Structure 1
Amino acid sequence: MKRRMGSVNALHQHNALVQIIFNRTDLLRVQILHEDPLVVSLTVAECLVRRVLIDPGSSANVMPKVTFDQLEIEPEKFKPTKNPLLGFDGKRVEPIGMVELPVRTTERDLIESFVVVEIHPSYNILMGRGWIHRVQGVPSTLHQVMRCLSPDGSKVIDIHGDQIDPLRPDRTTIVGLGLSEDEKQQLVDFLYQNTDMFA
């Protein structure tokens, strides 16, 4: 009996070693004082898709028709559906169909269902909380990362946000020289607050 209890305790201690936490060092790679959503890049249907919104408030994965068309998915994978979605304003959005596609991330290849809608959003895909739970993820918009457990639970894997980073010249822009200091600061503040609107 003692030996069995010892095994259970050892197993519990081993599982407790891998935890998902966030700390101050996670903020070192982030442009702070932001209100950015968590926007990442994912591999969907063998294609790298940028501007993917991680949305724990959504019960479904949502794909605009324009993204569906660009992925050049075989027509036979497209299935009709009559289940409406509710938008932020409470209005019903009628989907034009559903499609199941592979999503590769965090050492997983998952087949995910996407509701395809005729909208023109700021994002190419929206990943909802079902997928977040399946990858055992904890998203943090503040830290601009979704931290996930590996499939075997032995380590943590990060999916970093695509936030504009002033330390990377390829992800910055030039502010006009003819502006006053006050105007420059207002423009810079505006750009940081709306980074999710830019490719």
Structure 2
Amino acid sequence: MKRRIGSVNTLHQQNASMQIKFDKTDLLHNQIPHEDPLVINLTVVECLVRRVLIDPGSSANVMPRDTFDQLEINPDRLKPTGNPLLGFDGKRVEPIGMVEVAVYAVERVLMESFMVIEIHPSYNLLMGRGWIHRVQGVPSTLHQVMRCLGPDSTKIEQSRPERTTRVGVGLTEREKQELIDFLSHNANVFVWSHLDMPGISPLVSCHSLNVDPNARPVKQR
């Protein structure tokens, strides 16, 4: 593992460059029609957590017990909570406790509270609407993208928050905005891992690590 429509309209009236929108280019890499939920990756407790479900219908962030254990969070940090969760089947679920951990996304580090529950879902974390609002996010399950406003109100794509880059601090505000707009507009030409380039022959490109084959691997977080 390591919405309001009025709000968007207000942003558009204040500054067109701050508008959050989705268009046909966002659908190019999706199989349409689909009924997939919006699942992303997030960095939590300095670990990359895959398969994070974005759920605007949930009032709470949820952390399965397996994820809690794999993040190696000290059980002493669990706080009791008297608020049961209501599942989709209408049954009440009693949390093991609540824990507050750091979530890294959209140039922010937010301390988020999670309900730790003894469940075994297909996702590793569930992020509710409270977190979505705090990062000024607008998720779209259709486009499989979540877009947010950064701390400086610049637009950032957050479908995969680990895919970020930094811009030079010496740039003027105009240069910074032009560079962000350029990178956002051409995001589809960048690849972030070999998984984005399937079918490439090793005769064309091959990567190897120059390490001692007799060295003993060391496990680290």
- CA pair 23-93 structure 1, distance change in 2 beyond 3 A: same
Q: Number of paired residues?
A: 156
Q: List runs of 5+ in structure 1 lacking aligned partners.
A: 1-11, 171-199
Cα separation, 1, equivalents of 2:76 and 2:148: 33
Counterpart AA for 2:71:
L
Partner of 1:96: 96
Deviation at 1:76, TM superposition (A): 2.5
Cα separation, 2, equivalents of 1:116 and 1:122: 15
Deviation at 1:139, TM superposition (A): 0.4
Deviation at 1:57, TM superposition (A): 0.5
Which SS does the other structure have where 2:131 is aligned?
Answer: helix
Counterpart AA for 2:28:
L
Matched, 1:169 2:159: no
Given that 2:20 and 2:155 are in contact with CA atoms closer than 8 Å, whether structure 1 keeps it comes out as no
Which SS does the other structure have where 2:76 is aligned?
Answer: helix
Deviation at 1:146, TM superposition (A): 0.3
Partner of 2:78: 78
Partner of 1:60: 60
Partner of 1:130: 130
Deviation at 1:45, TM superposition (A): 0.7
Cα separation, 1, equivalents of 2:116 and 2:75: 13
Deviation track 1:68-111 (CA, whole Å, cap 9, x = no partner) reads 01100122211111210000111111001000000001111000
Question: TM-score scaled by structure 1?
Answer: 0.72
Counterpart AA for 1:134:
R
Cα separation, 2, equivalents of 1:45 and 1:16: 35
Counterpart AA for 1:169:
P
- CA pair 37-13 structure 1, distance change in 2 beyond 3 A: closer
The structure whose RCO (Cα within 8 Å, separation 6+) is larger is 1
Which structure shows the higher helix fraction? 1
Partner of 2:149: 149
Q: List runs of 5+ in structure 2 lacking aligned partners.
A: 1-11, 162-194, 200-221
Task: Give the alignment's Cα RMSD to 1 decimal.
Answer: 2.2
Which SS does the other structure have where 2:18 is aligned?
Answer: coil
Given that 2:61 and 2:128 are in contact with CA atoms closer than 8 Å, whether structure 1 keeps it comes out as yes
Cα separation, 2, equivalents of 1:144 and 1:45: 25
Question: TM-score scaled by structure 2?
Answer: 0.66
Deviation at 1:35, TM superposition (A): 1.0
- CA pair 153-47 structure 1, distance change in 2 beyond 3 A: same
Deviation at 1:157, TM superposition (A): 3.0
